[in-house]
Amino acid sequence: MNAIDRFADNLQAVTARAFAQQRDIMEEIARRMCECVTGGHLVYLFGTGHAHILAEEMFYRAGGLAAVRPILDEKLMLHKSASGSTLAEREPGCAARLMAGTDMGKGDMLIVCSNSGRNAAPVELALLARERGVCVIALTNIAHSRSCAPRNPENLRLYEAADLVLDNCGAIGDASVDVGLPYLAGATSTAVGAALLQAIECRCVELAVEKGLEIDVFSSSNVDNGDEINEKIIKKYRQRIPML
């Protein structure tokens, strides 16, 4: 069995563990998400480094909620300076700037994604959002977080700063496959995190349908009538989600 098979086995095992151990918390998050979006509020998503991929995962996606607004900041992403983004997320104070660019408030939900959960940007944003009455969800790696000291003035890890916590159940350091080097290869946090978020989103929509509540879900723009469906949704949300 080579590294392809070992990574596949690891990913399936981690995903299965994450789902099996967290059905109750996933159900609760889906319930609150349903209340949020059917009540006219938004789900905000934020992540630094590779975790920003998860913020984009739920945005403008076929089969995904329309009432989703990612918080994307070039300094904290990878396409301008990957190493620079690592330093930027450790700097205290940037969360206040990010928060100022939103209308986030009571009734909204914020999902903050960070594998380590130790740096300033995700922790500070979670705390600022809770001050505004926002329901804050942490998507993180609890084992990794517990293995290292916080790297922020609040001396907190992300899972300690949120209302509800999703654990991606990955290995400490994220990589998972022994390939004969002094360190491992094959990170699992993005794939598992995306699966958890998509599953919760599906349940959110299902709950709305069960209750007979209106909920806006994007179609694929590459199927017949998809453009027409999406254009109506975009028109409805464009003022609140300018990046649409």
Distances (CA, A) of 207 to 27, 37, 212: 10, 11, 9
The confidence band for 74, taking pLDDT boundaries of 50, 70 and 90, is low
Is 210 among the domain residues? yes
CATH code of the domain in which 188 resides? 3.40.50.10490
Is 242 among the domain residues? no
Q: What is the mean pLDDT of residues 91-119?
A: 91
CA atoms within 13 A on the CB side of 233: 24
pLDDT attached to residue 132: 96
pLDDT attached to residue 63: 95
Residue 173 is which amino acid?
A: G
Is 243 among the domain residues? no
The confidence band for 190, taking pLDDT boundaries of 50, 70 and 90, is very high
> Per-residue pLDDT for 176 more than 70?
yes
Q: What is the mean pLDDT of residues 173-184?
A: 91
Our count of domains for the chain comes to: 1
Please classify residue 19 by burial: count the beta carbons closer than 10 Å to its beta carbon, then call 0-12 exposed, 13-18 middle and 19+ buried.
middle
Q: Which domain holds residue 101?
A: 3-237
Cα end-to-end span (Å), the chain: 45
> Per-residue pLDDT for 182 more than 80?
yes
pLDDT attached to residue 76: 65
3-state DSSP percent of the chain in helix, strand and coil, to 5: 50, 15, 40
> Per-residue pLDDT for 136 more than 90?
yes
Is 192 among the domain residues? yes
> Per-residue pLDDT for 40 more than 90?
yes
Is 244 among the domain residues? no
Q: What is the mean pLDDT of residues 18-32?
A: 98
Rounded CA separation 5/52 (Å): 27
Is 13 among the domain residues? yes
With 0.85 as the threshold, say if the pTM is over it.
Answer: yes
The confidence band for 153, taking pLDDT boundaries of 50, 70 and 90, is confident
Tell me: the pLDDT tens digits for 43-73?
A: 999 998 888 899 999 999 999 999 999 998 8
